[in-house]
Structure 1
Amino acid sequence: MKGPEVLVTGASGFVGEALVFRLLFDKKFTPVAAVRGVTQLLGLCRVVPFDLNDKTALPALNDVQVVIHAAARVHVMKEASTDSLSEFRKVNVEGTARLAQKAADSGVKRFIFISSIKVNGEKTAPRTSFKADDLPAPVDPYGISKQEAEEALREIGQNTGMEIVIIRPPLVYGPGVKANFLSMMNWLCRNVPLPLGAINNQRSLVALENLVDLVVTCIDHPAAANNVFLVSDGEDLSTTLLLRRLAHALGSKSWLLPVPALILTLSAALIGKKAIVQRLCNSLQVDISKTCDVLNWRPPVSVDNALRKTADYYLDKLTK
């Protein structure tokens, strides 16, 4: 017997695709994959076209009970627009609001929004953590657009009765991860000496498997309705320790030079790389106690197991 339909947007992306595969595996719900381009999900579940930029092409939602909105405009390395905030708003705010209003009009019961910890801010002070109910303090255009999308969703929820669930993850890693995390694995496997052996910060990360597990928990958990949740692996790491444990998972030696963070920051400023080094040196910790208490949830996968799965996938791809 077919379970309730759950529409997943961004289903060809890193998080969205993993969500669809998890739903297919569990068989409790029937996933519908909303994608913008090519996907390997064809033939495995119903696939519908969807583009947050398109004001007219919204998927039919008549039989859908829950929408998981993972599609977004994310960080753009070479931004062509001179007004990046406006570009983020068109997709992440206006596109999200259009989809949510269509969902509410179609009788969707719950809308789960994959937001970002950037809504809380970019860094935390020593021995402090972001909490789900903190006042938002986004800094960059992406974080601002995610906060504004959250506000639009709350308004739609209040006006229509559709339940809104907001999840703010920090950096997500796992098999198939790209961007900076992939760069770290490339450096470690090539035995590149890195000046990151004396970074005493603390950063929260979340394994893809843990994030997906929380999202699936929120599909039908009564206490999730109209709540904001932070998520992480439950173990925070310094950049130095992360690199050492990732190197171990990769079977590589970590060549980490003990350069003080202050010298790193000053040197990076001279070559225009200050923002990158700040992300490596600053702390960003999240408090997931509300998530655990309200949902009776715990991260099912440990950091070391998640790093091993990530490394195994990376190494397997290298040999093909």
Structure 2
Amino acid sequence: MINVLVTGAGGFIGKNLVDRLHRKKGIIVNQYYRGDDLSQLYQHLSNADVVYHLAGVNRPKHNEEFARVNKGLTQSIVNYLSDQQKTPTIVFSSSAQAELNTPYGLSKKDAEEVLKNFGKDTGADVKIYRLPGVFGKWCKPHYNSVVATFCHEITHGNDIDIHDPDKVLELVYIDDVVDSFLECLHQEKSEETFYYHTKQTFHITVGELAHTLYKIRDMRESLIIPDLSEKLTKYLYTTYLSYLDTNNFSYNLPAYEDERGSLVELIKSHQAGQIFMSTSRKGVIRGNHYHHTKVEKFCVIKGKASIKLRNIDSDDVITYIVSDQNIQVVDIPPGYTHSIENITYDEIIVLFWANELFNPDNPDTYYLEVHNRENDQKKG
């Protein structure tokens, strides 16, 4: 068993780290919170194999609190460990601002020096992470993350203040931080450095950050999801959703209705096409057209349907009978005219995927009846 102590357990990084630690086998997690008595800290330190020292202040009411908390608490930890002749692994969340001549930056640098001296004097394994702007779920807005502040304000319909849109931000995602911290549980001591780095960071201007978050906000109307293959965009999208109020998780979609049934667009993507659904009443036939480049997938999730396809250069009709009793996906290749018919007494519901967004100026859709010939090749 590994005894772990997390200081600052109630903070942004601490909450995410503790959650992950609790899900690992062979770990006993002790937590030290702001306002806890120092005696509790010392009790946890007595048994600690690994100390994640995350406690600190970013925006105190008075500047002297920087030194009192950021350096002072670190000094208290080191003094106790030295007195007890204990040398646990210490993982310290410092800040990239330790390179700046500000009260906060100086207090972080001083805390680093305290830990480095402890490591040199005792041989303890000290791992220091100078983190840039950390973002992700549970980060407090208007405190230490512009991403959290922007997400909170935009999700609540407020304007955001941008003083310098060209300012470049260096960001790191919370899960990447936690991944790196967890590796420290079994990572060997480095004889060359006290400083460690997360596996990746991101760079974006303030203006680009705001633009990306507004595009994410507007997805509810445009239905266009961002390019989630780009990791920063994926992490920003995830983070943005975590700031929605609980009464704002859902949103309405317009339904286009006629005598056949209804059609609703669900998701659109410039990279992955679009997903939509339709309902069809008894006997309704949709389609009877083909595409040159566009391809589709049909999936009946309620009811029973007959999907017919015919290569436009052939008289042979291929029929697939599909239903919600055996969920299948039917691919619609280019150059095949196709149709789908409701063959039940109730309405059917069908999910569709197309590999490109519908373009009314170039719909790539050409009417041609499939026909129902005696030489149908039945499938499914």
Q: Which structure 1 segments of 5+ residues have no match?
A: 38-49, 121-137, 254-300
Structure 1 CA distance for aligned equivalents of residues 72 and 245 of structure 2:
40
Displacement of 1:233 in angstroms is 4.3
Q: Aligned residue pairs: how many?
A: 234
Query: Which stretches of structure 1, 4 residues or more, deviate above 6 A after TM superposition?
Result: none
1:6 partnered with 2:20 = no
* Other structure's SS at 2:91 match: strand
Task: Select 1:206's aligned residue among 163, 172, 177.
Answer: 172
Aligned match of 1:178: 140
Identical amino acids, percent of aligned pairs: 26
Aligned match of 2:217: 250
Aligned match of 1:66: 50
Contact 1:170 1:231 in 2 (8 A): no
Aligned match of 1:17: 15
Displacement of 1:154 in angstroms is 1.0
Structure 2 CA distance for aligned equivalents of residues 4 and 193 of structure 1:
47
Partner amino acid, structure 2, of 1:205: L
Contact 1:8 1:34 in 2 (8 A): yes
Provide Cα deviations, 1:254-295, integer angstroms capped at 9, x if missing partner.
xxxxxxxxxxxxxxxxxxxxxxxxxxxxxxxxxxxxxxxxxx
Displacement of 1:185 in angstroms is 2.1
Please say which of residues 243-252 and 195-204 is displaced more in the overlay. Answer: 195-204
Structure 1 CA distance for aligned equivalents of residues 217 and 204 of structure 2:
17
Contact 2:30 2:44 in 1 (8 A): no
Aligned match of 1:278: none
Provide Cα deviations, 1:136-182, integer angstroms capped at 9, x if missing partner.
xx221111001011111111111112111100111111112223433
Structure 1 CA distance for aligned equivalents of residues 161 and 51 of structure 2:
44
Displacement of 1:14 in angstroms is 0.9
Contact 2:169 2:205 in 1 (8 A): yes
* Other structure's SS at 1:219 match: coil
Provide Cα deviations, 1:190-214, integer angstroms capped at 9, x if missing partner.
5556575983332211111111111
State the structure with bigger RCO (CA 8 A, min sep 6), 1 or 2: 1
Cα 1:210/1:250, change in 2 over 3 Å? farther
What's the C-alpha RMSD, in Å, of the aligned pairs?
A: 2.9
* Other structure's SS at 2:9 match: coil
Equivalences for residues 70-219 of structure 1 within 5 A: 70-76=54-60, 79=61, 81=62, 84=63, 86-104=64-82, 105=84, 107-120=86-99, 138-180=100-142, 181-189=147-155, 196=162, 199-219=165-185
**Greater gyration radius:** 2
Aligned match of 1:29: 27
Provide Cα deviations, 1:52-95, integer angstroms capped at 9, x if missing partner.
xx58963333332110000112212xx2x4xx2x3221211121
Cα 1:55/1:97, change in 2 over 3 Å? farther
Partner amino acid, structure 2, of 1:67: V
More strand by share: 2
Contact 1:8 1:20 in 2 (8 A): yes
Partner amino acid, structure 1, of 2:241: D
Q: What TM-score results when the alignment is normalised by the length of structure 1?
A: 0.64
More helix by share: 1
Displacement of 1:306 in angstroms is 1.5
